[in-house]
Amino acid sequence: MAAALVAAAAALGGCDFKQNAIAVSNTSIDFSRNETPYTMYVWNNNAMIVKLTVAVVADEPWILPNVEEIVSAMPEDAEKGPFDKRAVIIRIDRTQLPKGESKGTITLTSKGIKPRTIDIRVWMDADGRQAALNLVNPVATYSKPYVIDFAFGLNDSHGNAVVAEPNQFAVQGFEDNNEIASETGLQLRRAAARQLKLDLVMDYSLAMQNSDGAVEAMEETAKGILLPALNTEALVGVTEFHRDDRDAENVSDFTIDRAYTRARIEAIQPEIVRGWYSGPRLFDAVVESARKFNEGEPLQESRHILLLTAGRDTSSSFTMDDAVYSAAQRGVRVSVVGFGQDVDLPVMLDLTGRTGGIYFPAGQVADLPDAIQRIVDNLAGQYILRWASLRRIDEPFRPSFAIKYGSDRGTFKPDFDFKPGDHAGDPLRGMLRLVNSGTPDSAAVVLRADYLPRFIRELWIHAKSPLAFTASVVSPADDGIVGDWSVQVTEDAERGGQMIHLSSPGAPAPFAAFGPVLRFDFSSPPPADTPLFEEMYIDNSVYEEGVFLVIRGFHNPGLDPRQEAD
């Protein structure tokens, strides 16, 4: 009889027998020109339904809710509550929107329950749709001698990193509106050539520990996806945080030893956390991580913090502004993988946006590998374009560049000029430096070039160490700039130590080149307070026309002291 009545009512269009149960804080959201996410609340207001599962579905791809569903328990009283309110954070992807007004909806549905619809409105002053090739966070830096560098990422129209070999791009440099000549040493390199330095900040606080499988997935994706994908010469450190009454801890200093980094990650739970965890000090951890990057020479490194977190801070003594300042002061970009459904999304987006990083959501444990892979792709999609200006008249000009990949093109011009006199230096003076890449149980250093003059076809390096070492050129696959050169190590009978001879099979090193040159590996670390090298300098007698090369931190007995490294 009841079934017949329902059928009759439906045929007449007279009744809807679905129950009311979905309550919302908003029936419409007008983002207008606002760039920040909006938090609305959804809850179960039906005291007859013990647990209500509500699907969250947007009808437009540019509307981005942070969850696909929420689950809300029944209230004690349908009128007075208390209610189990669940947050839904809504973002707008303005890169998909044309100029003017755009409208869409979010529909909340549950089986047998009346749906609710939230109207979404956005206003765009200009077309935000991305081109096929987009420059991300481009930064211009100028240095001696007359060097112009542009660091940037590349994304396609869908926001995915564009990863390709530098020789697959066509690039043009401009000084004002005049295209520069090939004599300037125009070169595009992967950003890792500058020295990729990454600190992995890992969240072991209560929220992560109570999320089934989250910590294990965080560790396994870091060890199994992130570390193997990085450039061999990339320096990686680890920082962790897990308690409101304890400072974040430096688990591992920067090293190229991947086995050591994996072992230190595996030691965090049994040796540091030891089953005792509580509120997260997320901002404190970012400040602690940023302090691991030295304040000097940020222009010679590509610096990143990767924060893997449940995305909330409860107990830090430092603020968001402190964390941003600490990172910006040292030229560090902070990217975040936010795990779970309770991420404080506006805060995480603010942290990444203000430091030039990127936010990657991982709503479920299964999403973590994809989020880490996107991080890897993003790091690989970072580039540096360099040239050394030939202008000597001290009149300012505005540099810019264009980059082309296939038929797609992108351009960038900074908002400040290059004044040759402010960056004058000796273009015949090459600058190199040693970068420590070892661990407490091993020793390794890499000799890197920050700038090379023209026509360098060989290097004679005098090195004196209390320890035995092997020397090998860094391969082109790891962004080595002399990867096809030969290397020969002989005893230096006259001065003691070793003489290392690198020679090109033909072409000289590129003018104004930068990147890793030579790697030194030692069988064991030296005793405390004992330097790896007592002496290291380059024999400049093989060069003509006044060319000379210096290594930071070492005295060259063949040079006028005024020519030593700054």
The b/e string for 8-32 (b: 16+ C-beta within 10 A; e otherwise) is eeeeeeeeeeeeebbbbebeebebe
CATH code for the structural domain at 18-124: 2.60.40.10
The whole-number pLDDT of residue 566 equals 59
Q: Where are the domains of the chain?
A: 18-124, 134-192+382-423, 194-380, 429-563
Mean pLDDT, consecutive 10-residue stretches, the chain (566 aa), reads 43 62 96 89 94 96 92 92 92 91 97 96 90 90 96 90 95 96 95 92 96 93 94 94 97 94 98 96 98 79 94 96 95 93 89 91 86 91 96 97 95 96 96 87 90 96 92 92 95 90 96 95 84 92 91 81 58
Give the number of other Cβ atoms within 10 Å of residue 364's Cβ.
14
Distance CA 244, CA 314 (A): 8
CATH code for the structural domain at 134-192+382-423: 2.60.40
Distance CA 214, CA 432 (A): 43
Distance CA 301, CA 324 (A): 19
The whole-number pLDDT of residue 41 equals 94
Domain 194-380 and domain 429-563 have a common topology? no
The whole-number pLDDT of residue 530 equals 83
Reported as a single tens digit per residue, the pLDDT across 91-128 is: 998 888 999 999 999 999 999 999 999 999 999 998 88
458 forms beta bridges with 503
The whole-number pLDDT of residue 95 equals 85
Instruction: Considering the domain delimited by 194-380, tell me its CATH architecture.
Output: 3-Layer(aba) Sandwich (3.40)
Residue owning tokens 């404190």: 284
Instruction: Considering the domain delimited by 429-563, tell me its CATH architecture.
Output: Sandwich (2.60)
Residue owning tokens 């995305």: 311
Residue 271, helix vs strand vs coil: helix
The whole-number pLDDT of residue 439 equals 80
Phi, psi (rounded to 5 degrees) for 532: -65, -35
Any alpha helices (H) in 179-281, and if so which ranges? 206-209, 214-221, 227-229, 258-267
Between the CA of residue 543 and those of 127, 538, 547, what are the distances in Å?
55, 11, 6
The whole-number pLDDT of residue 564 equals 61
The whole-number pLDDT of residue 298 equals 60
Cβ neighbours of residue 120 under 8 Å, at least 6 residues apart?
28, 29, 31, 58, 60, 63, 90, 92, 103, 104, 105, 106
